[in-house]
């Protein structure tokens, strides 16, 4: 249980409303202390893109493992070419049959023959026959050569703990002969859909599964299910999300159901629009997040609350996973102090414009939006022409 | 076959070198005309995040499907509340047992009872008993109500063709009752690893599979294999990548192997560093891209050439899939005109610094890099202090 929170039972806020709502910063403090990183596992390196290294990987050997040609051409001893020029072509032997300084045809990436220390490229060598060539330019020692250990030395850090593996890291691991890596286990996110009120179709499950996966979690849970079944199945979960029935209506039973299951609450009601009926609590040591049933409010609350926690315990940044564009507003955004407002905006011609208002927002507006603007609690909005930070969906 | 290219057989450039290298812009013109979008398929909407819509989805019904409460509270006829105030509380009936204007306890998202046109929130209603309440404030008609069709009208565009589906789009599709959607088929990318020279481990396959997946393709091919086997297996591919053996060494057989298989070339040798030994061609109607065997050169050539083609035929943007940061250079970047240079840079304290040089670059440097700077053919580099566009890996 994070410090600074209390073990109160869930207060029934149904038919009453939220007396006070916690500022988003308070919710973040709770979230940043809740839950725990779910341990390590070892996986094949070749499938590990996107996974987060649990331990630093040291190079078990030098790269290159020997002095290699870095380019196609002829390997020579640089000193033998010192006097070469177009006016003074120097004879070189291409095979042991000829008697002269030796030039070895070589391909990039292969080991330098003994005694060689430079690569001549094809343009500076004139081939006479299979056994003989003339060299037209001098080459400096080390030219065209990748020296043993010049790229990475055995025992030094190849990839540091905490790194999210990129496609090219897989090639480096293969080059180092590392077949398996220790990575953070992906947090298991138990999803319980407490029910939307607008029909039999589960709108929230597919969205929450996709969001959870995006943020490095593994969604578990059959979508629409009873809260009891979700709790039973979520026994092994690292985070539990309960979507729907978080509000103040008489059928908003999410908070009470958590209390009946033995859960505790930290806060319920957050100064966030949409998404204000969200709640934070715990079931044993497992953080539980109550998300609103309205799809747009659920999206906002997932992004602002649940995603932050899931990303952190997945070993990723707590920052929102959206590209940010700084764009001028073509129309003002009206907000009110005391709430963090998440305002969908359309972008056209390098300008952003709010779509609808926070109060009448809906998923359909979000789907028309290129992204959203966060209006902090301290502001009443933004004027037309203000440069705002737009979190871009694509 | 794209216009403006020729059907020449592959010229053997081994032991000779690239006489002339095509500017990157020429390669892009070829790539932007090559290949074709691989058709459509229908998939369950709930698993379709990241897929690209092949057809515009029109709303089959209004959203909301009826006038709904947008908030928890009491549904009333607004006109009945006109004279209400704290000094003049008006009596309302909560059940049919009481005789007065009727107020209906209602939860957000449920249908308005007949005759009601506004929602009073809990704070403006004083409950007397199970049957009776007093209303303390008037409410305007439409307040707290989401009118039928106010969010989206039946027959209008919900999601346009070409859209890459976001998590929230899945919720909208579910709300509209759309269970399956037509999406672009992901391009099948045949991978043939013609072989790296630095040992038995396939360094390129895992990287190329991860890159292909990132760019919306489906990698096919067992990694290291002979070119003949790759061609045989890649019969159904939309793009073929041949990695390794693309250069001028005597063992660089990728180009000739393609010619023997009946392929044609468009260009071989591109003014790109690293990655200059890349080539573009076709086998039947299928575009074939030769990528260098050095892992860093392969990465650069994948990003600059192959990824562009794969993203386009996957229905995505041809832009590089990296976030861009504008950062000042703490040290100069030395380049030379006539080549597009891909320079790995480290970022610290909001400054970028080149890592190594283009000539001595290696995957290990790329793995230490936060991203890369593209130096165009026309420039000799950038001075310290110049603001450059850094393509960021994370």
Whether residues A230 and A170 share a domain: the answer is: no
Q: What is this model's ipTM?
A: 0.86
Whether residues A329 and A273 share a domain: the answer is: no
Residue B42 bridge partners (DSSP): B182
Structure-block tokens of residue A154: 């055995």
How does pLDDT run across A222-247, given as a tens digit for each residue?
554 456 666 666 567 899 998 887 77
pLDDT band at A294; cut points 50, 70, 90: confident
Tell me which of B109, B122, B319 to substitute to probe the interface with A (most A C-beta atoms closer than 10 Å).
B109
Whether residues B125 and B200 share a domain: the answer is: no
Residue A157 has pLDDT above 60, yes or no: yes
pLDDT reported for residue B30: 96
Tell me which of A61, A62, A109 to substitute to probe the interface with B (most B C-beta atoms closer than 10 Å).
A109
Whether residues A195 and A296 share a domain: the answer is: yes
DSSP per-residue letters across A83-111 = T--SSSPEEEESSTTS-SEE-EEE-TTSB
Whether residues B338 and B384 share a domain: the answer is: yes
| Residue A152: partners with Cβ closer than 8 Å, 6 or more residues away | A59, A62, A63, A158, A176, B364
Is A14 domain-assigned? no
Beta-carbon separation of B171 and A16 below 8 A: no
Whether residues A191 and A308 share a domain: the answer is: yes
Residue A112 has pLDDT above 70, yes or no: yes
Residue A137 has pLDDT above 60, yes or no: yes
Is B208 domain-assigned? yes
Q: Which helix (H) or strand (E) holds B181?
A: strand B180-184
Residue A264 bridge partners (DSSP): A282
Whether residues B275 and B197 share a domain: the answer is: yes
Is B5 domain-assigned? no
Is B328 domain-assigned? yes
| Residue B323: partners with Cβ closer than 8 Å, 6 or more residues away | A323, B391, B392, B394
- Taking the C-alpha atoms of residue B49 and residue B233, their distance in angstroms, rounded to an integer, is 29
How does pLDDT run across A182-224, given as a tens digit for each residue?
999 999 998 888 765 555 567 888 999 999 999 999 998 655 4
Is B357 domain-assigned? yes
- The distance of A77 to chain B (nearest Cα, Å) reads 19
- The distance of A281 to chain B (nearest Cα, Å) reads 23
pLDDT band at A5; cut points 50, 70, 90: very low
* Structural domain of B99: 68-146
Other Cβ atoms closer than 10 A to B249: 24
Q: Which among A122, A168, A177 has CB closest to B366?
A: A168
Residue A273 has pLDDT above 80, yes or no: yes
Cα dist from B368 to A168, A350, B135, B245, B332, whole Å: 11, 34, 67, 26, 18
Whether residues B116 and B228 share a domain: the answer is: no
Question: Would you call A109 an interface residue with chain B, using a CB distance cutoff of 8 Å?
Answer: yes
pLDDT reported for residue B203: 85
A6 vs A113, residue with greater confidence = A113
Q: Which among B151, B249, B364 has CB closest to A108?
A: B249
Window 244-303 of A, Cβ < 8 Å to B: 247-252, 293-296, 298-299
Question: Would you call B108 an interface residue with chain A, using a CB distance cutoff of 8 Å?
Answer: yes
Q: Which residues of A touch B64 (CB under 8 A)?
A: 198
| Domain closes at, from A246, A281, A313 | A313
Whether residues A179 and A46 share a domain: the answer is: yes
B142's torsion region: left (phi>0), alpha (psi -120 to 50) or beta? Answer: left
Nearest 5°: CA angle at A176, between A175 and A177? 90
The CATH number assigned to the domain holding B46 equals 3.90.105.10
Residue A71 has pLDDT above 90, yes or no: no
For residue B242, the number of C-alpha atoms closer than 13 Å in the C-beta half-sphere is 35
How does pLDDT run across B74-111, given as a tens digit for each residue?
999 999 999 999 899 999 998 886 677 899 988 888 88
Is B117 domain-assigned? yes
Question: Would you call B156 an interface residue with chain A, using a CB distance cutoff of 8 Å?
Answer: no
Q: Which among B122, B169, B203 has CB closest to A367?
A: B169
Q: Are the C-beta atoms of B57 and B198 separated by less than 8 Å?
A: no
| Domain closes at, from B258, B279, B313 | B313
- Taking the C-alpha atoms of residue B56 and residue A392, their distance in angstroms, rounded to an integer, is 22
Window 322-381 of A, Cβ < 8 Å to B: 323, 359-360, 362-367
| Residue B353: partners with Cβ closer than 8 Å, 6 or more residues away | B329, B330, B331, B345, B346, B347
Question: Would you call B204 an interface residue with chain A, using a CB distance cutoff of 8 Å?
Answer: yes
The CATH number assigned to the domain holding A206 equals 3.40.980.10
A264-268 vs A279-283, strand pairing mode: antiparallel
Task: State the residue for tokens 């497992």.
Answer: A286
List the pLDDT tens digit at each of the 394 positions of chain B. 444 444 444 556 666 667 678 899 999 999 999 998 889 999 999 999 999 999 999 999 998 888 988 878 899 999 999 999 989 999 999 888 667 789 998 888 888 999 999 999 888 898 888 889 999 999 999 998 988 888 889 999 999 999 999 999 999 999 899 999 999 999 999 888 876 555 556 788 899 999 999 999 999 865 544 566 666 665 678 999 988 877 776 677 777 778 888 888 888 889 999 988 899 999 888 999 999 888 889 999 999 999 999 999 999 999 999 999 999 999 999 888 899 999 999 999 899 999 875 445 566 777 889 999 999 999 999 999 999 999 999 8
Q: Which among B107, B151, B250 has CB closest to A251?
A: B107
Beta-carbon separation of B172 and A199 below 8 A: no
The CATH number assigned to the domain holding B110 equals 2.170.190.11
- The distance of A249 to chain B (nearest Cα, Å) reads 5
For residue B19, the number of C-alpha atoms closer than 13 Å in the C-beta half-sphere is 4
Nearest 5°: CA angle at A40, between A35 and A45? 135
> Across chain A, what does the average pLDDT equal?
86
Q: Which among B17, B172, B293 has CB closest to A367?
A: B172
- Taking the C-alpha atoms of residue B149 and residue B250, their distance in angstroms, rounded to an integer, is 70
Whether residues B204 and B256 share a domain: the answer is: yes
Q: Which helix (H) or strand (E) holds B346?
A: strand B340-348
Q: Which among B72, B146, B365 has CB closest to A249?
A: B72
Whether residues A223 and A260 share a domain: the answer is: yes
Q: How many domains does chain A have?
A: 4
pLDDT reported for residue A7: 42
Task: With H, G, I as helix, E, B as strand and everything else as coil, classify residue B26.
Answer: helix
How does pLDDT run across A299-345, given as a tens digit for each residue?
999 999 999 999 999 999 999 999 999 999 999 998 888 999 999 99
Is B249 domain-assigned? yes
Window 22-41 of B, Cβ < 8 Å to A: none
Question: Would you call B167 an interface residue with chain A, using a CB distance cutoff of 8 Å?
Answer: yes
Let me know if A7 is exposed, middle or buried by CB neighbors in 10 A (0-12, 13-18, 19+). Answer: exposed
Beta-carbon separation of B167 and A367 below 8 A: no
Beta-carbon separation of A105 and B15 below 8 A: yes
Tell me which of B48, B61, B72, B95 to substitute to probe the interface with A (most A C-beta atoms closer than 10 Å).
B72
Is B17 domain-assigned? no
Task: With H, G, I as helix, E, B as strand and everything else as coil, classify residue B365.
Answer: helix
For residue B131, the number of C-alpha atoms closer than 13 Å in the C-beta half-sphere is 5
Question: Would you call A47 an interface residue with chain B, using a CB distance cutoff of 8 Å?
Answer: yes
Beta-carbon separation of A252 and B72 below 8 A: yes
Beta-carbon separation of B172 and A363 below 8 A: yes
Beta-carbon separation of A367 and B210 below 8 A: no
Q: Which residues of B touch A363 (CB under 8 A)?
A: 151, 168, 171-172, 175
How does pLDDT run across A164-183, given as a tens digit for each residue?
999 999 999 998 999 999 99
Q: Which helix (H) or strand (E) holds B209?
A: helix B204-214
Q: Which residues of A touch B110 (CB under 8 A)?
A: 197
| Domain closes at, from B291, B313, B335 | B313
pLDDT reported for residue B16: 66
A361 vs A130, residue with greater confidence = A130
The CATH number assigned to the domain holding B388 equals 2.40.340.10
Whether residues B229 and B284 share a domain: the answer is: yes
pLDDT reported for residue A13: 66
Q: Which residues of B touch A17 (CB under 8 A)?
A: 72, 121-123
């Amino acid at each position: 249980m994070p410090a600074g929170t209390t073990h109160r039972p869930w207060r029934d806020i149904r038919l009453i409303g939220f007396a006070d709502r916690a500022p988003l910063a308070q919710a973040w403090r709770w979230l940043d202390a809740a839950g725990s990183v779910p341990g390590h596992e070892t996986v094949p390196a070749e499938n590990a893109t996107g996974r987060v290294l649990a331990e630093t990987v040291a190079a078990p050997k030098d790269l290159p493992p020997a002095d290699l040609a870095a380019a196609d051409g002829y390997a020579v001893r640089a000193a033998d070419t010192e006097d070469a020029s177009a006016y003074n072509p120097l004879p070189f032997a291409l095979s042991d049959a000829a008697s002269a300084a030796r030039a070895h045809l070589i391909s990039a990436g292969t080991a330098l023959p003994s005694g060689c220390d430079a690569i001549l490229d094809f343009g500076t060598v004139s081939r006479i026959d299979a056994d003989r060539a003339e060299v037209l330019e001098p080459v400096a020692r080390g030219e065209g050569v990748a020296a043993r250990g010049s790229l990475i030395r055995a025992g030094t850090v190849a990839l540091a703990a905490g790194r999210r593996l990129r496609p090219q890291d897989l090639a480096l691991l293969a080059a180092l002969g590392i077949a398996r890596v220790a990575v953070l286990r992906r947090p298991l996110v138990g999803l319980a859909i407490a029910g939307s009120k607008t029909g039999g179709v589960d709108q929230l499950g597919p969205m929450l599964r996709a969001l959870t996966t995006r943020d490095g979690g593994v969604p578990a849970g059959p979508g629409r299910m009873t809260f009891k079944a979700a709790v039973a199945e979520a026994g092994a979960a690292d985070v539990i999300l309960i979507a729907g029935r978080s509000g103040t209506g008489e059928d908003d039973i999410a908070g009470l159901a958590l209390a009946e299951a033995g859960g505790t609450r930290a806060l319920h009601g957050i100064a966030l629009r949409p998404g204000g009926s969200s709640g934070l609590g715990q079931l044993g040591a497992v953080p539980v997040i109550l998300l609103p049933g309205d799809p747009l409010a659920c999206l906002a609350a997932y992004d602002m609350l649940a995603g932050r926690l899931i990303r952190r315990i997945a070993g990723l940044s707590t920052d929102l996973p959206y590209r940010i564009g700084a764009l001028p507003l073509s129309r003002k955004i009206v907000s009110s102090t005391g709430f963090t407002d998440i305002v969908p905006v359309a972008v056209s011609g390098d300008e952003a414009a709010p779509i609808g208002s926070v109060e009448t927002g809906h998923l359909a507006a979000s789907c028309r939006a290129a992204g959203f603007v966060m209006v902090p609690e301290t502001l009443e909005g933004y004027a037309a022409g203000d440069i705002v930070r737009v979190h871009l969906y694509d």
